Chain A
């Protein structure tokens, strides 16, 4: 059946699709540390995850939607605004 020949193509597409979704969790201690520190600085912290080897924080502050990238020592590397 020709569908059998189409299946590898279909699966390849599904795998390719999934390969793009590569972010992982931070451990609970680190999460709490970051969340507490940033809340004290006036951020509304929504999500903390590791993307491409960096800690990325999704937060709001002063009416802005922000992506805050942290170094391993939790200092701020850079901030991106979503506008």
Chain B
């Protein structure tokens, strides 16, 4: 086995902060409260941090390290279907699609959330409806993400959740790219 440093502290801080703030705002905090808005602003800041870090951060944090690619995703699906093991060091192609979906969902939630605090969009139905729809879509995506991480961890023999805590992936010696 070899240990590969993959996720830097900023990525890990971002990841777990988003988990906490999204879960809190989606299920624990009253939608109509000041706190809900404040946590929302915190998510805006976290997203800003992530975008910046995606441009200038460490290797596997950069968006250039995991571009959304349909051919690569399909290759990964084929690998899964045929039982071929391939270890990705950073985000896998399917993982990349999920990350962008989650980032866009959160961005949409933040945008519609902020809009609802403006005079122009105060009490305007469609803004709230999109906000609520995005919440469900993002929540479902997050659940799929968790399930996929568990499934992929078992399939490839790499403890992915642990890696997002320690920053290090413990991987077999093979053709990891």
Contacts and interface: CB of A to CB of B under 8 A. Distances in A.
A20 B31 contact: yes
Given A16-B27, A47-B123, A10 B147 contact: yes
B140 A59 contact: no
Interface string A34-67: 0000000000011100000000001110010101
Interface residues of B, number: 24
Contacts, number: 62
Contacts of B147: 3, 6, 9-10
Dominant SS among interface residues on chain A: mixed
Contacts of A17: 26, 135-136, 139-140
B174 interface: no
B123 A59 contact: yes
Interface size class, chain A = 20 to 34
A14 B139 contact: yes
